[in-house]
Amino acid sequence: MSVQDDIPHVGLPGDRGEDGSVFRVKDVVRPLDSEASAGAGAALLGFASDEGVRRNFGRVGAARGPEVIRSFLGRLPVHRPVVLYDAGDVACRDGNLTAAQERLAGKASALLDQGLRPVILGGGHEIAFGSFLGLADHLGERFAATRVLVINLDAHFDLRQASAPNSGTPFRQIAELCEARGGAFNYLCIGISELSNTTALFERADRLGVEYWLDEQIRKTDPATLRRALANRLEAVDRVYLTIDLDTLPASVAPGVSAPAACGISLEAVEDVIDEVLASGKLALADIAEFNPDLDRDDHTARVAARLAYRLAFGSGQRLSAPL
């Protein structure tokens, strides 16, 4: 009999009778209030909102993203002891996006205060302003002196000048927040598509000093060169906020998004960025944006989002093998 046979609900039904560990993420994740955190590990936090997508004239449905990502993440196996908490969701149900972003910031800041790394599951890309605001609030008086790098894996700059916040304005809002609090706006956008941004947006990015790597550049550059370039960039900063808009991936890989990409960058390139940022030891918090379960095909995007959330929470290489 398996050691897990007499522990109810461990593993999946197909795991019954195995004579080794069948623990999966759902078996190890703990509610945040179940015990005081030890000041280490990751914490899931959902942002159930597509109000920003609606305001940006996109296809709504991303509010269900956190629920579905958690479901698929929970099925993935864990191969070593891990620490993972679940801090619940922040929802935007009344159309008050600014208030929802502030609540998200409050929860993210509290997790950072506890020594945990928030992995925030969206939701539209309006998530980004709430995430960054949480980091800024956590840093408090240290914000202006802390070199924070925002890395956005995205086909879009999301620097729009709309009068009300939406899923296309978060990095313009972040730039304004940095200016108001005396900090530098340090923004690296990876995967930018020339065909997904107007001339006005490229010119705004240039005026704000945004560094961007085009999707076509990334596809033509070998992975080792990209990782070295990113590692050099990371050496010059203190903390990193990493945000992943799933529409940076090809539509064949991530169809369940508001604005699917005709080409995009590879999933391997996205994972290389995650790994390099984690290896730097400077990742403060991360989020995954724009997953829309209503537009998914065969749960393909859900599985991709869960894979990325797993990597952000635990890193890569839980099972180490001999070199090939």
Using the predicted structure, report yes or no on whether residue 9 has a pLDDT greater than 90: no
Fold of 13-314: Arginase; Chain A (3.40.800)
pTM: 0.94
Q: How confident is the model at residue 1 (pLDDT cuts 50, 70, 90)?
A: very low
Q: Phi first, then psi: what are they for 76, rounded to 5°?
A: -75, 140
Best CA proximity match to 185, nearest among 216, 139, 235, 147: 147
pLDDT value, residue 247: 96
Q: How confident is the model at residue 224 (pLDDT cuts 50, 70, 90)?
A: very high
279 contact partners, CB below 8 Å, separation of at least 6: 231
Secondary structure of residue 91 in the 3-state scheme: strand
Q: How confident is the model at residue 322 (pLDDT cuts 50, 70, 90)?
A: low
Best CA proximity match to 63, nearest among 46, 43, 75: 46
Segment 11-20 mean pLDDT: 90
> Helix and strand tally (H, E) in the chain?
11, 9
- Write out pLDDT tens, residues 252-275: 999 999 999 999 999 999 999 999
Q: How confident is the model at residue 36 (pLDDT cuts 50, 70, 90)?
A: low
DSSP 20: S
Segment 26-40 mean pLDDT: 77
Segment 23-33 mean pLDDT: 92
Using the predicted structure, report yes or no on whether residue 244 has a pLDDT greater than 90: yes
For tokens 């972003």, name the residue: 101
pLDDT value, residue 320: 61
- Write out pLDDT tens, residues 143-197: 999 999 999 999 999 999 999 999 999 999 999 999 999 999 999 999 999 999 9
What mean pLDDT value characterizes the chain?
Answer: 93
| CB under 8 A, 24+ apart: contacts of 210-217 | 210/157, 210/159, 211/187, 212/157, 212/188, 213/188, 213/189, 215/155, 215/191, 215/248, 215/261, 215/263, 215/264, 215/265
With the C-alpha atoms ordered 86, 91, 97, 103, is the resulting torsion angle positive or negative?
negative
CA distance 306 to 206: 34
pLDDT value, residue 3: 43
pLDDT value, residue 17: 87
User: Domain map of the chain by residue range?
Assistant: 13-314
3-class SS shares of the chain: helix, strand, coil, % to 5: 45, 20, 40
Segment 101-125 mean pLDDT: 97
Segment 240-250 mean pLDDT: 98
Best CA proximity match to 318, nearest among 115, 24, 39, 87: 24
Secondary structure of residue 126 in the 3-state scheme: coil
Segment 228-246 mean pLDDT: 98
Segment 82-102 mean pLDDT: 96
Q: Is 247 exposed, middle or buried (0-12, 13-18, 19+ CB in 10 A)?
A: buried
Using the predicted structure, report yes or no on whether residue 318 has a pLDDT greater than 90: no
pLDDT value, residue 321: 61
Using the predicted structure, report yes or no on whether residue 2 has a pLDDT greater than 50: no
Using the predicted structure, report yes or no on whether residue 7 has a pLDDT greater than 60: no
